[in-house]
Structure 1
Amino acid sequence: MAFCLFIIGPFLIVGWISFSRTSATIKDEVGKTMLQLVKQNHATVENSLSSVRDKTVSFLDNHFFSNPKQFAFWTHIETINALSEADTILDRWSSDGTEYAIYMGNQGNQPFLINALYKKQGLIYLDSGTAYPEWALQTQEEKGAGSLRLVKLSSGQTTVTFARSILNPEKYDELIGFLAVSKVEVLLTKNLVSVQLPDNAGVYLFDDRDEMLLKAGFADMELSELPEDLRNKSNGYYYSESNYLYAFSYDFNFNTRLIYKIPLDSIMGKQTSFQQLIMVMLAIYLVLVLLFVLYLLRNIIKPLARLVTFTRVYELGRPFDFGDPSSRSRSDEFGVLYTAFIRMTGRLNESIEENYGMKIKQKEQELNTLHSQITPHLLYNTLDSIYWYALDSGNHDVGGMVKDLSKLLRIGLSKGKSMIPISEELEHVRAYIRLQMKRYPGNFEVFWDVDEDLEVYKMPKVTIQPLVENAIFHGIQSMDGEGHLWVRLKRVEDEIHILVEDNGFIPVNLDKLLMIVSGEIDDKGYGIRNVHQRIQLHYGDSYGLSYRLREGGGLIATIVIPIHPN
């Protein structure tokens, strides 16, 4: 159960999340890529339409606006030769696959050539009884600007047409006719098919009236397939519930919308199959792991659990039934463990009497230790009684001194322990300093600079007090209020540096002091030599006590010890 809950369960959850996140990331990246592709493709379509538009501007400028003779020619064609010449000019402008045509209205009810009234291309006249095509009326609303429309020809076929009104250069509110460039799809189709899309995908070009101008590909599409909120966006991509990717771009120059419709399976089918293959392989792997775990449970965990049960119920000195002896006959590690455990229990049973004798001796030693502690305990109780008596008598100074003396004794003895927390060592020093300040009132001041984070570590007891005692008695006790004593505790990398500093004015023979610490002079300075030796006994020769002269007078004693764990 634990294996399924903490290993198989998280493994499946992580795999499912990874699968989902990977699919979402891939779909997002594919969508962004298709969006960039449709925008680039739309830019080429826009360039083609811009080329058509610029060409119509050049045509109108050359034949109607910049040359009065040409304007007169186009507005007064009265002979068959002139009509043929006009058709030749329009045919020459139609060299790129498009077809140029001019629709001229009846100006002043002048008679038209019969040949021009029923033409389907080139120069086409519209008499007063003939209605303008629907696209012409829509183009007239553009006020001379071009419009892209889907136009139905007389043959029943539809064509993409770029049309613009021809206005009188002398009266811009007077409409002369229309210039229509049909078969623009010849140019646009080249742009659409230049992009290689997956199978069953399609490319669609819509105008501002949501009419499909052009399509490339096999799939059909209606603009209503896009959500309403996306139709108002200039570009984006969208995944439908029917597993299609729609990437779309809108052009404000010609009010066209280009849309890619791509089946999701055609771009992510291999990736999905690969992920499914990975999940199947992971499932097989988990089954194999589960079978291996079952093997461990039967051949390792179960025998180990039996051995743990034996360990828990076994009691010293009592016979114990170890059950099936076949467990001990196993040749693997568990057979060795069973045999070793049985031998161990036998040796333990045999050593009970020896342990019993040792416990008796231990009790005797405890009684001796207790007896040796009676005197200190009696002393503590006596000092405590004196302390309360002094307080009851109103002598608080004496009470404080008794209390500090009691602390000195308690911490100094420390129930026989040699290592105590630094906080207790500092408390011992503070009690000693308070006693000396009572003894020499007003002679010196004490300054503390202690890193409180170091107080939890341990150090040898009664190590700082001898240094403070030397600083007081040999340095500042007779300075009449000018004596200063500093006790500092700081951390330097993995070491603790303890500094006792005074500003005593009595000259110090530093060389002699160092010889006392090192043991070269053994008839003096027992206290500081004892401190140095105890530190080295605990931590090694690289630690201990050292002295140096203080700038401005006085002496600095430094103890260096490693940080000792609690």
Structure 2
Amino acid sequence: MIGLKLKFKVTLAFALFIIGPFLIVGWISAYKAEESMQDELGRTMLQLAKQNHTTITKSMSAVNDKTITFLGNHLFNRTVLNPFWLNIETFSQINQADEILERWSSDGTSYTLYMMNREEKRTHVDLSDKNSGFKYFDFDHSDRPEWVQHADNKRGAGVFRLIPSSEGTATVSFIRSILNAQNYNDVIGYLVVSHLEVHFTRDLLSVQLPENSGIFLFNDANELLMQAGSAAFPEAGITELASRETSGYRFVNQGGERWLSAYAYEPDFHTRLVYHVPLNSLSSSWKGFQWFIMIVSAIYLVLVLLFVLYLLRMIVRPLHRLVTITKIYEPGVPLASDNSRDLLRSDEFGILYGSFLRMTRRLDHSFEENYAMKIKQKETELATLHSQITPHLLYNTLDSIYWYALRKGNKDVGGMIKDLSKLLRIGLSKGRTMIPIGEEIEHVQAYCRLQMKRYPDNFEVHWDIDEDAKKYTTPKVILQPLVENAIFHAVSSMDGEGEIRIAIRCADSEIEMTVEDNGFLPVDMERLEQITRGEITDKGYGIRNVHQRIQLHFGEAFGLRYIRGEGGGVKALITLPRQEYIKVIPDS
């Protein structure tokens, strides 16, 4: 590695640290992606099976509810059995019973009512060959059909079974034994709804599956009621799934092919729905895409390697010359342009060299700029000193006027001048932007006294100040704009009924300041919030300035917001963090 040229070093490093890891990671990713894809297909197919099974269960419940309604409407009047069904004997009575059952037959289904012939009625018509309608149940215990025993075991509940039809084929039927309302141990007949495959086939075929797939519906006795799709019934693998009272999915190898079996269980009728789908039909497109990505990635790596070799040739030589020029540069010494004409290109090296020349010019002028900045700093310091002297002169002048007013006996004017002096002193704060909350309270109290002199007997100000809060830090002049808005927009014209409540409290790790008025004029709260957030800039400069200054110092978690007051009016709420004020002693 040490004796190789840079071109071969980069090529070998590219193969070891890029191509090798890329192939390993690509293989692991493809393997994991295939596992993840199979699991996702299993979950999706299981969800599809559950949804389809729910649809079938709704159809089963509809049949069950319809038979209950039939029994309640025609066989029982509350707990009394309708004697009509026990005494059918004439042709007219048989037709009447058949007409009732035929009205309940719909959508291709057939209703058949078997009644125990305990009155030993002898009909003039042979009912044994009837496919539907009314029939007497004349089977002995020895030759009773198997579905009779299943219905008896349910004790009045319904069961779904395959029953041979007159055409010789099996039909999906719902069977309910009819119990004597006076004695539930006494079975007086059976209600059979056949040809239900008309409904269930529609539900099964509502989902389109890939080719060679199959859907299998089993009842509570693990009997295959129906199947849909082009796949043959794989009895070895599916029968075991049909006996489970859980839902899930699994992958099996069958006939040299991998299959996905998703099975859903519904406890209402203890039925199972099994989807049996060849995995290749679901993932063939994805595998083809995976191979396509791998081939494209390999071609991409080869192209990248060729491009790296090209870059080495284009970069190494001009980079070496640029380094040489950098070494000979000294601030203040002009560069020899003859040695660098070939670097004035339009590519990145030309841009780099141009930036290098601009950097040397900035370095050459840095001393002059530094000197100019020092002169400007001195001028700024003088201007700051002058601005400090001017407020000091103003404070002394106002203090002289205050004492003059007191000597002349005009205490009201003296108090107003004192409050004005306090407003100016705290508002300027010797250039400070942060002051103690105690000084902020003094500032807004002085402002309130001045405004109460201006609007005598128009409003009152109530104070609720937590003494512990006075030692914490706040941006200066954040309460005065809120009080000003409350006075001019709410209480200034209320003829003595106006109230402003100013509260400052400590709450956990925060300070809460509120200014609330009882103004009666309607206020657009949404517009107030828009002004506070800066979405409306032609109004409300004061409150927007307060909100922005708080967030500038403490972050977006704090600031100003407006809510409606409890007794009308508007409440302005300011939240600040608890930060104790530290007095900064200026340098002498």
TM-score (norm 2): 0.48
TM-score (norm 1): 0.49
CA radius of gyration, larger in:
1
